[in-house]
Amino acid sequence: MTAKGYIEAIFPKMAGDRAELQRLGARWEFHQDNAPIHNAWLCHSWFTAHNITVLDWPASSPDHNPIENLWALLKYKTTHRRTQGTGLEEYKEMIKERRMESH
């Protein structure tokens, strides 16, 4: 994906969400990682032109990305069981089991 494609795909949806949040009086900042297309001049210019504050995000920060921690935990729990799944349905069942354990 290019920076132009990113803007065209993400920002129309975000504009509607932003308008609703502002209507409710909420203060917000946009959050994205440091992927090259996110840091492109075109994206920075678009944010500036639309008065959108982007949250500063440290480079290479997997610890700040909660979903990565979830994937790591799920991987650990599915690879450290007595029997390994061999097919898609078995993996789906393993994920369901692990989710139930966490509740």
Is the Cβ–Cβ distance between 10 and 42 less than 8 Å?
no
Tens digits of per-residue pLDDT, 27-46?
A: 777 888 778 888 899 999 98
Whether pTM exceeds 0.85: no
For the cut 60, the answer to whether the pLDDT of residue 103 exceeds it is: no
Question: What is the rounded distance in angstroms from the CA atom of residue 31 to the CA atom of residue 16?
Answer: 16
Select the more confidently predicted residue: 102 or 19. Answer: 19
79-89 burial string, b = 16+ CB within 10 Å, else e? eeeeeeeeeee
Residue among 70, 68, 67, 97 at smallest CA distance from 81: 97
Average pLDDT, the chain: 76
Residue 78 amino acid letter = T
Rounded to 10 degrees, what is the CA torsion of 2, 11, 45, 38? -50
